[in-house]
Structure 1
């Protein structure tokens, strides 16, 4: 790890979230020298979710000035931007917005998604994913249908592209990570020209795409005046916010995985080859070095706790739950109807095996914590069945990682050590990428800048007892017809190793 410096060089990471923009100024040893935030406002109406792109820029200006307050301008060496995946707008040739920003979860394109899926069936089969109404490509079709007379030179911008253009003073290439949900072919590293023609997307509407970490330009004088970022600072192509968080967790070499436990559970890892998933529940981004970043999102997660125990002190419940290992109940804890990973079952619903009405509430709470951990293990089972390497380090991030007991329980169920990063903010991931893009390889840079605050070791005697309940859940999911038999068999083999 690099040593701290009294007047170090710093790199800026800009993270455009849903409710705010976060900016961090970070040195080569991973120490934060400045941070800032700017609020964002949304407009929601049913399936529609929009933001004003000008507000993005205003929040970036505010957050950058806060982060750079007290940081010598000459020490800033680079900047990178991450944003929400699938957020787009249309702009004129000067970059002025022609439409609001359609956000990552805007799902108005319900008629356009099947059209995009049918037209690109062969492409989606090869790439292993399929456009959903919230993806950028269907939303682009919706925009074109409602804005048929675009001015000459109009173009699509992803959220990060818009900020990049404001920083440099002119159009910038998009990064392949943000472009994935717009239909970019990560395998061939090109826009699928034939598909775009079939969908009647005008030639020239889509930006040039490059790998993350590629130099896009430099901060212009006007942006320097607005943000405090020195003029001439290199701008490096970023990644989506999920990939940025993976960088900040240090999961960057084949076999490494980051498990993000928030309202739902998301696993993201690294493979040398793209995983081919017949169920379509795993899809991959691509890293700057050409490795693949597979991931999947389950419908289980910490959201089940606030729903089961609204307003309760979960730390107190955690302490009481430790007496129930394993719980007398086996719970499949879905945060919402339908499962997306490690199997696809839109009709799936949560359930509990055992006499829940007679169980103490701490026992039921324990079954929820354990149930999420069992699904997490099943996710790894499925990734292993697809051929993913699972022998690298695993880190835990997200709100669920704040519970030390839950982290211990997850280590016991997974039967492996789990690292807890000191700072898992997406803005840190972009600071790491900004430095890598201007100097050293990403994995090497991350080893210097990403710090672990703790490593949780598994307790083998607890693992044996907990896996009995895990296999009860596997049996129940298979019996309901949701979990494919091949996955269930693989899970049983791994549990008996």
Structure 2
């Protein structure tokens, strides 16, 4: 336990998690048992997107919104915020801003999806090919590495390039802070070796002073200053701890923190994330890994299909369609409900396109086929990670809006031959709160996850539908192979 925890830990002690997302800042305050005692929210301006891949946001809005969300949350606590002993910050991965040494932005932030540094990122991929291959990572067009190089070329003496969490951390503590290795990954930090890819930054003439110190998520980096306390309602001396990217924090929030545990996040797209003891690389590039706070690894991949399968369906009709599809049983046809061009996980193919094999008998049959198609992609994803030698244990933790559908959850469990554990709170801010609790309210992350995430809700496979579902899955895989998108082995 930290000194702050030794002094301040009481039955009323609370931690706060901050999620600086694209549209708003969200704050959750939780106790040692994971009960949410207070929440706060403040909007952020919409990013400005334009030609050439431009995507910017006014970074001067981040701190006022964070302070406002914290004030709202702390004011709702019985002690007015005095019971908050630690706070951690999570944010979108790959958003950077040029700032003064005091943490004042001097221009707009380059958002996670800004593509104007694509050429720099392509060059960085070439320069560090051996390093990225060993890490199982590729430098994509929107990677923050190229954005840092671009910002460095404009930086004046004394200016810094800050990620969202180290800007907020600086303003909470009043001094320069380290960056966690999760947010640093796509900026060119090598968590396997424990160093920045300096050979790449040297080639681009990026001063080493622009590269922050990097530490593990959950590491204490300072305490809340008097100035920040007056703006946020947090107590002076409250510990500030490093968070993780929004995706990683969301994974932790489900309780999937031990090797062999995986979570399937069914939102607009489908994302599979898990925990391994050792780094596992994927030759196809469909899977890449963040580093776990305890030194393990967090492999994950994101599909281009998911909840978008239902994009053309009126949300008000979904309950009736689910009821009809559930009553009719397994679909008579196959669907790969891909509404974009190309697939990136569990296989990589720029040629992949959505398809329906066979004619649906009615609307309920068509709806059921779409739900099954996404579940088939999920099974294929789990088989992909297992083919790489990764063990998957126990129920699949489940999160995302799609997990609220009882029918879809039953279909997924049946397709996977394993129960789904629907997480109680799979929110980024809650994951940040678990990181704040690790070492304060609880000895470590495993203990905070065990105590705070709750049992969730188990959904079991449907034995009566197993044979028909398995037959459809094999036909689905055969269709993908016939189109040349999957290997023939």
TM-score normalised to structure 1 length = 0.93
Q: Is the 8 A contact 1:82 1:239 kept in 2?
A: yes
Aligned mate of 1:429, from 428, 431, 438 = 431
Mapped partners of 1:389, 1:279: distance in 2: 19
Secondary structure class of the residue paired with 1:195? helix
Does structure 1 retain, via aligned residues, the 8 Å contact 2:398–2:421? yes
Deviation at 1:311, TM superposition (A): 5.3
Residue segments in structure 1 that go unaligned for 5+ positions in a row? 487-497
- Aligned residue for 1:117? 125
Hey, what does 2:147 align to over in structure 1?
Answer: 139
Inter-partner Cα distance in structure 1 for 2:329 and 2:145: 47
How many Å separate the matches in 2 of 1:329 and 1:21? Answer: 43
The answer to whether the 8 A contact 2:152-2:210 is kept is no
Q: How does 1:126-205 map to 2 (within 5 A)?
A: 126-145=134-153, 147=154, 150-205=155-210
Q: Which moved more, 1:126-135 or 1:43-52?
A: 43-52
The Cα offsets for residues 425-463 of structure 1, whole Å up to 9 and x where unpaired, read as 111111111010434110111110001341111122312
What is the CA RMSD across the aligned residues, in angstroms? 1.5
Q: Which residue of structure 1 lines up, in the alignment, with residue 378 of structure 2? A: 376
> 1:451 aligned to 2:459?
no
Q: State the alpha-carbon separation in 2 of the partners of residues 213 and 80 from structure 1.
A: 8
Q: Aligned residue pairs: how many?
A: 476
CA distance in 1, matches of 2:108, 2:44: 14
Matches for 1:351-390 after TM superposition, within 5 Å: 351-356=355-360, 359-390=361-392
Per the TM alignment, residue 105 of structure 1 is displaced from its structure 2 partner at its CA by 1.4
Q: How far, CA to CA, are the matches of 2:142 and 2:463 in structure 1?
A: 43
Corresponding residue SS for 1:231: coil
Q: Distance in 1 between matches of 2:86 and 2:104?
A: 25
Q: Which residue of 2 aligns with 1:469?
A: 472
Cα distance, 1:392–1:286 mapped onto 2, change above 3 Å: farther
* TM-score scaled by length of structure 2: 0.95
Secondary structure of the corresponding residue to residue 366 of structure 2: helix
Equivalent residue number for residue 38 of structure 2: 34
- In structure 1, what is the Cα distance between the partners aligned to 2:256 and 2:487? 29
Distance 1:6 1:79, change over 3 A: closer
CA distance in 2, matches of 1:108, 1:194: 22
* Corresponding residue for residue 331 of structure 2: 327
Q: Aligned equivalents of 1:327 and 1:218: distance in 2?
A: 57
Cα distance in 2 between the residues matched to 1:35 and 1:13: 10
Which runs of 4 or more aligned residues in structure 1 lie more than 4 Å from their structure 2 counterparts after TM superposition?
none
Report deviation, 1:335. 3.2
What residue is the counterpart of 1:493 in the other structure? none
Q: Runs of 5+ in structure 2 lacking a partner?
A: 1-8
Q: How does 1:20-419 map to 2 (within 5 A)?
A: 20-42=24-46, 43-46=48-51, 47-71=53-77, 72=79, 73-145=81-153, 147=154, 150-307=155-312, 309-310=313-314, 312-356=316-360, 359-419=361-421
Contact 2:263-2:272 within 8 A present in 1 as well: yes
Asked if the contact 1:251/1:393 (under 8 Å) is kept, the reply is no
Aligned-residue offset at 1:17 = 0.9
CA-CA distance at 1:310 after TM superposition: 4.3
Post-superposition offset of 1:141: 2.5
Following the alignment from structure 2 to structure 1, what is the Cα–Cα distance between the partners of residues 115 and 136?
21
Tell me if structure 1 keeps the 8 A contact 2:149–2:201.
no
